[in-house]
Structures are given as C-alpha cells and as structure tokens.
C-alpha cells in the first residue's frame, strides 16, 4: 500500500477555503485516493474519492495532478462544524467490498470563529 503524508494539523477561520494536501509518492497505477472525515468519538465518514484530475461533490473537491503523487482536498467556506480529523487513504480499490482501508495519521483541522 502506498504511504501517505499529511500535515498533522491546520487552523482556519470560519468562511475560508481550506486545502489539505496529501503526498503519496509511491501510488500505484490501480490506486484510488479517498478522503474520510472523523469527529471525536465517532466513526469516520466518507468525503470524496478520485483517481485523476478533479472530482467535486456537494461537500468538497479533490484535485489530483497528472503525476498523481499528491492530492489536495478542498473544503469551501468552512464552518466550526468542519473541525475534525481528515484522513487521506490510497489503495487499489474502487467499489471492491472486501478490501480493507488503511489509515494514516490524518490532519486535525481546527476552525476558528
């Protein structure tokens, strides 16, 4: 599995756009990039997944450069409720039910009023 590196923590003011970058230099051809969000004492929640270029959903955008060695999760206009730990995962799965997820250390995002 490709190893991921993220900043340990980030601070942002409410209403700002937040970009969290994840490095995955050893990403394999069949690997996808997935981001999860975790609030204290809760299970993680899926945010977004992508393979290349840009993916956008109602919650976030995911930017993946052509070499796929990094990715950036973009959260538009964050609010206090976005304070959480964000995990970047890389693995050879896309809809495979039996493949497990391996979590790195994650990025603790603190949104300040």
Which of 4, 36, 7, 32 is closest to 20 using CA atoms?
7
**112 half-sphere exposure, CB direction, 13 A CA radius:** 4
Stretch that binds another protein, among 10-18, 19-27, 60-68, 96-104 (CB under 8 A): 96-104
Sign of torsion, CA 73 22 93 42? negative
Stretch that binds another protein, among 22-30, 39-47, 56-64, 70-78 (CB under 8 A): 39-47
Q: State the first-to-last Cα distance of the chain, in angstroms, to the nearest integer.
A: 38
Which residue of 29, 67, 81, 96 would you call a contact of another protein, by CB under 8 A? 96
Contact 22, 63 (CB under 8 A): no
Which residue of 78, 106, 109, 111 would you call a contact of another protein, by CB under 8 A? 106
Nearer to another protein, 44 or 78 (CB): 44
Instruction: Name the minimum Å distance from CB 26 to another protein.
Output: 19
Q: Can you give the binding site for another protein, defined by CB under 8 A?
A: 32, 34, 36, 41-46, 49, 87, 93-106
């Amino acid at each position: 599995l490709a190893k991921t590196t993220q900043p340990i923590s980030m601070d942002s003011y409410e209403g700002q756009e937040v970009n969290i970058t994840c490095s995955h230099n050893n990403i394999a051809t069949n690997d996808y990039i997935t981001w999860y969000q975790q609030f204290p004492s809760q299970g993680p929640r899926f945010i977004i997944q992508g393979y290349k270029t840009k993916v956008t959903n109602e919650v976030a955008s995911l930017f993946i450069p052509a070499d796929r060695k990094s990715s950036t999760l973009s959260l538009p206009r964050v609010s206090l409720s976005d304070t959480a730990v964000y995990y970047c995962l890389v693995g050879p799965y896309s809809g495979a039910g039996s493949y497990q997820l391996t979590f790195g250390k994650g990025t603790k995002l603190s949104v300040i009023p």
